[in-house]
Structure 1
Amino acid sequence: MAGHSKWANIQHRKGRQDAKRGKLWTKIIREITVAARAGGPDPDANPGLRLAWDKGMAANMPKDNILRAIQRGAGGADDANYEEIRYEGYGVGGAALIIDCMTDNRQRTVSEVRHTLTKHGGNLGQDGSVVFMFKHCGQFVFAPGTSEEQVMDVALENGADDVQTDDEGAIEVTCEPGQYVALKQAFDAAGLNADLHGVVMKALSEVQLAGDDAARMQKIIDLLEELDDVQEVYTTAVMDDTE
């Protein structure tokens, strides 16, 4: 099924993530440590740890860093005493935001998230105010030029829910969260490397932003991602190039 092109938006997002790699690694290490403490040190028996491990590898984190984080978590390190919490809100132009955090101090985290939103034209919503606009799913995005037939074959044989190709030829595959690890292993075995992959909150509909609105929304997302307690930010906004 064809849809409007998201490839430039995806590449823009990846570029911004690469620019923040040091901070990204710190957040992934925290996620790995907490996952190892909660479910044990074996990624094959701990789906949460497997997801965090894959996230670390995708961010080019050295394997030694990942193994040290697992050892800390499995050994009950103090920095594993974090809880996961989700905030919902709105940014510019009615675009929805989901802000997933990992914190040892809820009061500090909600204060920082609320301040960031309200200072830049957004607002914090109540639980359930926007989550219905998103779908929790596994997601794989393959670059234009990837064999659509091969992706389709592997996807449908390994439990994918949907395969879509956009106007530029980027291929998106979605699946149930519990199917993500098996599907990723199947893609890896077939030599198909997704440019973007993970278990995400995927927007069910999108809000197109351009010009000043796009720049303001990107600033909100950037500032939220810079907060130490924020792990992931999801939005219904699709922004034109804000550079």
Structure 2
Amino acid sequence: MAGHSKWANIQHRKGRQDARRGKLWTKIIREITVAAREGGPDPDSNPRLRLASEKAAAANMPKDNVTRAIQRGAGGTDGANFEEIRFEGYGIGGAAVIVDCMTDNRQRTVSDVRHAFSKHGGNLGIDGSVVFQFQHCGQFLFAPGADEDKIMEVGLEAGADDVMTDEEGLIEVVCTPSNYAAVKHAFTDAGLEPEVSDVIMKALSETELDGEDAQKMQKMLDALEGLDDVQEVYTTAVMDETE
């Protein structure tokens, strides 16, 4: 995979997210609101809310914002009417794309997502058209040079399913969504802090893109991620460093 550095792509993505901190807070508030509405206001008994609250802390969101979002969701009022929609489609080179949204206006969201796909050379698919190419799982990524033996020992003991290291030394740990919190807390207790950790849709295969195709794909992903109603975008595309 010469030129397709997973570690470089992770750093690039984190940089784009940091630049969009205001939008990130909006995404997290929506996630907290819906999580509290569906599973209750207590993070100890609501794993989804606990994860969203941890994301808020990592994004340096004020605690008052988190509390208000939980209250809105648990009370079912003032902004708690968001619904979740998942879109599936294809990008450049047939790369699979999943777009998870939260919206209070389904018609607007469908129109915006469809436009972002078509404008940038992709096309929206039907439900089930690409989701089989992804695995719903917890993922932890550790930078090259991290203590692989310790990560493996702690992760597997806490319930992780697999620990993998690529040619760059990037260490990836995956687990079931239900074991995510236990694995995360085990790493924290052991003093092991991943660069990235989340419950995601992990691509089971990769679609490698270079040059102009990579640039076009990145523009499409940026357009999708820039939509107000979009929470997460997942893709099988792996791109070289074009920027």
Place the TM-score, normalised by the shorter chain, in its bin.
over 0.9
Q: Spell out, residue by residue over 1:164-186, the C-alpha distance to the aligned partner (whole angstroms, 9 max, x if none).
A: 01112111000001100111111
Superposition deviation, residue 105 in structure 1: 1.8
Normalising by structure 2, report the TM-score. Answer: 0.95
String of CA shifts for 1:195-215, please: whole Å, max 9, x gaps.
101100000000111111111
2:42 aligned partner:
42
Asked if residue 163 in structure 1 is aligned to residue 163 in structure 2, the reply is yes
Distance 2:162 2:62 in 1: 33
Amino acid corresponding to residue 120 of structure 1 in structure 2: H
| 1:70-149 aligned within 5 A | 70-149=70-149
Deviation at 1:77, TM superposition (A): 2.4
Asked whether the equivalents of residues 88 and 128 of structure 1 are also in contact (C-alpha less than 8 Å), the reply is yes
8 A Cα contact 2:97 2:130, kept in partner: yes
Aligned residues: 240
Question: What is the match of residue 187 of structure 1?
Answer: 187
Q: TM-score, normalised by structure 1?
A: 0.95
Contact kept, 8 Å, 2:83 with 2:104, in 1: the verdict is yes
SS at match of 1:78: coil
Given that 1:90 and 1:96 are in contact with CA atoms closer than 8 Å, whether structure 2 keeps it comes out as: yes
SS in 1 for 2:43: coil
The 8 Å contact of residues 138 and 197 in structure 2, kept in 1 or not, is answered as yes
Aligned to 2:173: 173
- Three-state SS of the structure 1 residue aligned to 2:89 is strand
Q: Deviations over 1:43-101 (max 9, x none)?
A: 11101101211222232323332222112222222211111110000011111100001
Question: Aligned residue for 2:154?
Answer: 154
Which region of structure 1 is more displaced relative to structure 2, 169-178 or 34-43? 34-43
SS of 2:45's partner is coil
Distance 1:135 1:102 in 2: 21
Contact 2:5 / 2:240 at 8 angstroms: preserved in 1?
Answer: no
Alpha-carbon offset, residue 219 of structure 1: 0.8
Alignment-mate amino acid for residue 39 of structure 2 = G
3-state DSSP of counterpart to 1:79 = coil
1:209-242 CA-to-partner distances (Å, cap 9, x unmatched) read 1111111111111111111111000000011112
Per the alignment, in what secondary structure is the counterpart of residue 88 of structure 2? Answer: strand
Mapped contact 1:5–1:167 kept (Cα < 8 A): no
Question: Any conservation in 1 of the 2:91–2:217 contact (CA below 8 Å)?
Answer: yes
Distance 1:146 1:69 in 2: 36
Give the whole-Å Cα distance in 2 for the aligned partners of 1:213 and 1:39.
42
Please name the residue that 1:23 is paired with: 23
RMSD of Structure 2 on Structure 1 (CA): 1.2
Unpaired segments ≥5 residues, structure 1: none
Quote how far apart the aligned CAs of 1:114 are: 0.4
Q: 1:143 to 1:63 in 2, by over 3 A?
A: farther
Matched letter for residue 147 of structure 1: D
Aligned with 1:72: secondary structure?
Answer: helix
* AA of the residue aligned to 1:199: V
Q: Identity across aligned pairs (percent)?
A: 74
Distance 1:72 1:235 in 2: 32
> Secondary structure of the residue that 2:168 maps to in structure 1?
coil
Q: Distance in 2 between matches of 1:127 and 1:70?
A: 30
> 1:5: how far off?
4.6
